[in-house]
Amino acid sequence: MGGVHPDDSKFARESRIEVLGVPQKVFVSMSQHLGAPAKPVVAVGDFVKTGQLLAEPGGFISACIHSPVSGTVKSVAPRKDLAGNMAMHVEIEVLGDLWEDSIDLSTKLIKDIPEDREAILQKIKDGGVVGLGGATFPTHVKLNPPPGKTAECLIINGAECEPFLTSDYRMMLEHPQEIVVGAAIMQKVLHACPCVIAIEENKPEAIAAMQKAVADLAYPDIRVAVLRKRYPQGGEKQLIDAVMHRQIPSGGLPVDVGAVVQNIMTAFAVYEAVQKNKPLISNVLTVTGDGVPANMQHNYLFRIGVPFSYIIEQAGGVPENTAKIVSGGPMMGKAFANLEATTVKGSSAVLYLSAERTRRKAEGPCIRCGRCADACPMGLEPFLLNRLAKAGDTQELENAAVQDCIECGCCLYSCPAQIPLLDRIRPAKAQVLGIIKSRNVKK
């Protein structure tokens, strides 16, 4: 089974969701989903409204991108993302906040779900909805399994198992009904398969809020399941195992075992796209960290395209004793290479880590204790992957299934020899996936 039990550290759990303002300029990335970058449909000098289409999908696996603000397009040019890689961005100088007329900005809950399945899928596609649990896979593609595959269960992921992160938790407390309507919409698209909203046992208030919303709205065949607390319980494969007791074979997809997994925030985005005509231009992220005072812990509703430096400034600046700033959680997040990078649809956190937490002892020799293998939720042998990655043996890495690594960091967390296992396994996995992809293209 694997997994680890890191400290929860959910310090921002009591911070209600606050609406973050926007700076004078935003920079909207064209590469904020899995798949091909989106293609801009606006030009320098255009005036755009909030919610207006900025870019159309650049391929089958791609997504629309909409303007998060109203204003004038100042440039369409490459710019550094948070990892320091260049990506095309649309720069918009903000003028007021004029929304597209078709968007319903009222807070009134719309419970009745449209009848036409194809029309729903089109709205999800037109709304640029992508998976907000980390993968940012286009939702309309995931909700449309290929011929021969059938969804037998829709799992809504409310586990939020990464330490520190609290945005999904706050959404379940503050918007449970919208999430349930979003789940019911996806259930309808998947031909009325059963739906399970899966939440870890350490969130009793969220469990109660979601159970009440499920009971009040009374859509058929939706239930809340309470899961054991364990990292990475929110991984797709781990959730499917916990809820359906089915295991995805190596190289397989959730739908191969009849599962479709969507995140809490994705369900909310689906609700907004289908019921309110509101495209995905905002999300909720957590600003938190070690020893950060309560008044600097936030859950912000942010618009895409806002520089992280702006968020940090609005949240009160970088706290003392910060040694590292990470985008995302401590287990799977990545250190910022560039704080002028801007938020994307999948941004989940600005995390301040202290010197104590980031201090690593010198790497020692592997003592063959096997703890990394015990902790690996994918049944891999991280000590072996580490050795093969150091040797650059891609054939043996593939034989050892490095491509199945979900980059959860459990091996790194468990290793008493302080071996930077994930730092070596991650690039090795990318290399092997590249080899597999080019082999498949040649076939």
Residues in contact with ligand SF4 by CB under 6 A are 366-372, 375-376, 378, 380, 382-383, 385, 405-411, 414-417, 419, 421-422, 425
Distance (Å, rounded) from C-alpha 229 to C-alpha 60? 37
Which is closer to ligand SF4, CB of 275 or CB of 386?
386
List Cα–Cα distances, 161 to 10, 239, 263, 379, in angstroms.
Answer: 10, 11, 12, 19
CA dihedral (165, 171, 174, 180) positive or negative: negative
Distance (Å, rounded) from C-alpha 137 to C-alpha 142? 7
Q: What is the smallest separation between the CB atom of 378 and ligand SF4, expressed in angstroms? A: 4
For residue 224, which of 196, 193, 204 has the smallest C-alpha distance?
196
Q: What is the smallest separation between the CB atom of 254 and ligand SF4, expressed in angstroms? A: 16
Q: Name the 3-class secondary structure at 224.
A: strand
Q: What is the smallest separation between the CB atom of 154 and ligand SF4, expressed in angstroms? A: 25
Amino acid at 21: G
Which is closer to ligand SF4, CB of 141 or CB of 411?
411
Which is closer to ligand SF4, CB of 176 or CB of 382?
382
Q: What is the smallest separation between the CB atom of 171 and ligand SF4, expressed in angstroms? A: 26
Which is closer to ligand SF4, CB of 8 or CB of 374?
374
Which is closer to ligand SF4, CB of 197 or CB of 411?
411
Which is closer to ligand SF4, CB of 220 or CB of 365?
365
What 12-15 contacts at long range (C-beta under 8 Å, 24+ apart), as own/partner pairs, is 12/164, 12/166, 12/286, 12/287, 12/288, 12/297, 12/298, 12/299, 13/166, 13/169, 13/170, 15/166, 15/170, 15/294, 15/297, 15/298, 15/299
Q: Name the 3-class secondary structure at 334.
A: strand
Which is closer to ligand SF4, CB of 142 or CB of 429?
429
Q: What is the smallest separation between the CB atom of 286 and ligand SF4, expressed in angstroms? A: 22
Which is closer to ligand SF4, CB of 3 or CB of 305?
3
Q: What is the smallest separation between the CB atom of 366 and ligand SF4, expressed in angstroms? A: 3
Pair of tokens at residue 140 = 């309309």
Q: Which residue in the block uniquely carries the two structure tokens 């998060």? A: 68
Q: What is the smallest separation between the CB atom of 420 and ligand SF4, expressed in angstroms? A: 10
**E strands in 273-422:** 282-289, 298-303, 322-327, 334-335, 349-354
List Cα–Cα distances, 169 to 11, 210, 302, 360, in angstroms.
Answer: 12, 11, 16, 31
Pair of tokens at residue 249 = 């074979």
8 A C-beta contact, residue 198 and residue 227: yes
Looking at the chain, how many residues does it have? Answer: 443
Q: What is the smallest separation between the CB atom of 372 and ligand SF4, expressed in angstroms? A: 3
Q: What is the smallest separation between the CB atom of 261 and ligand SF4, expressed in angstroms? A: 17
Which is closer to ligand SF4, CB of 243 or CB of 389?
389
